[in-house]
């Protein structure tokens, strides 16, 4: 039995300069039945010191570096909520994010929804809005998954997922350095419906830290191929 409605999991690695904004954006939500779980994936900056001022308001876990999938899975395993949300450590929730999503999930509780996502703002390092990303919703789940096979239109910080659905399809695949979220959405989409709120509920930062690491394009392409082959092999569309 769940004792909290929403678990917000914030994985972080050397994002001490942004982590307060992320945590504050959850603490200041209009909806209050939540827990905040920060999983520090082996940070070597001042993250631990910054987190100390929130010690009575969040659950904080430090672990050896294992990548975002490992950190998110660690958070899920230590969560108590009926619904799971993920928040990247350099992003923020807009104030009514949880209120809107919980209301939607509770209103449509018997519709088999496994993932709820929304639009979002792209923002500068100082959180000034740069652009508005409007996602796309689908009437039929087959169309949602087929479109997802070609384009990942779901932003991780916008999602809300029933914990029961996570337990059914499994956690993030820690073997993937890239596209681990894409793989997770597809597995959820092949078992449950997607739902979409056509309004921005998150600000996603664009800055030097999330652009500076050179992407291994070959590995990313290989991961995408494996993920698509697995979905096509296991499920009939």
Query: One digit per residue, pLDDT tens: the chain, 237 residues?
Result: 688 999 999 999 999 999 999 999 999 999 999 999 999 999 999 999 999 999 999 999 999 999 999 999 999 999 999 999 999 999 999 999 999 999 999 999 999 999 999 999 999 999 999 999 999 999 999 999 999 988 999 999 999 999 999 999 999 999 877 778 989 999 999 999 999 999 999 999 986 555 445 566 777 667 666 666 776 666 655
Question: What pLDDT digit, counting tens, does each position of 85-133 carry?
Answer: 999 999 999 999 999 999 999 999 999 999 999 999 999 999 999 999 9
State how many domains the chain has: 1
Query: Residue 118's domain is classified under what CATH number?
Result: 3.90.550.10
Whole-structure pTM value: 0.92
DSSP labels for the chain? --SEEEEEEEEESS-HHHHHHHHHHHHT-S---EEEEEEE-S--SSHHHHHGGGTTTSEEEE-----HHHHHHHHHHT--EEEEEE--TT-EE-TTHHHHHHHHHHHTTTS-EEEEEEEEEEE-TT--EEEEE-----SSHHHHHHHHHH-----GGG-EEEHHHHHHH----TT-SSSHHHHHHHHHHTTSEEEEEEEEEEEEE--THHHHSPP-HHHHHHHHHHHHHHHHHH---
Residue 225: domain span: 4-234
């Amino acid at each position: 039995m769940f004792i909290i409605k929403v678990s917000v999991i914030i994985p972080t690695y050397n994002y001490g300069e942004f982590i307060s904004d992320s945590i504050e954006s959850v603490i200041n939500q209009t909806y209050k039945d939540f827990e905040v779980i920060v999983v520090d994936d082996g940070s070597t900056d001042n993250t631990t010191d910054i987190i100390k001022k929130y010690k009575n308001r969040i659950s904080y876990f430090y672990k050896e570096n294992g990548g975002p999938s490992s950190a998110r899975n660690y958070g899920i395993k230590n969560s108590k909520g009926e619904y799971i949300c993920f928040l990247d450590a350099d992003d923020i929730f807009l104030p009514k994010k949880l209120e809107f999503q919980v209301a939607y999930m509770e209103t449509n509780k018997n519709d088999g929804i496994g993932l709820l996502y929304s639009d979002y703002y792209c923002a500068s390092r100082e959180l000034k809005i740069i652009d508005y990303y409007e996602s796309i919703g689908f009437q039929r789940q087959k169309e949602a998954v087929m479109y997802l096979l070609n384009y990942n239109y779901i932003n991780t910080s916008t999602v809300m997922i029933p914990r029961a659905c996570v337990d059914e399809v499994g956690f993030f695949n820690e073997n993937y350095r890239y596209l681990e979220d894409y793989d997770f959405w597809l597995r959820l989409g092949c078992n449950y419906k997607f739902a979409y709120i056509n309004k921005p509920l998150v600000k996603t930062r664009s800055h030097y830290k999330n652009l500076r690491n050179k992407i291994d394009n070959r590995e990313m392409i290989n991961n995408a191929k494996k993920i698509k082959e697995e979905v096509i092999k296991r499920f009939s569309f």
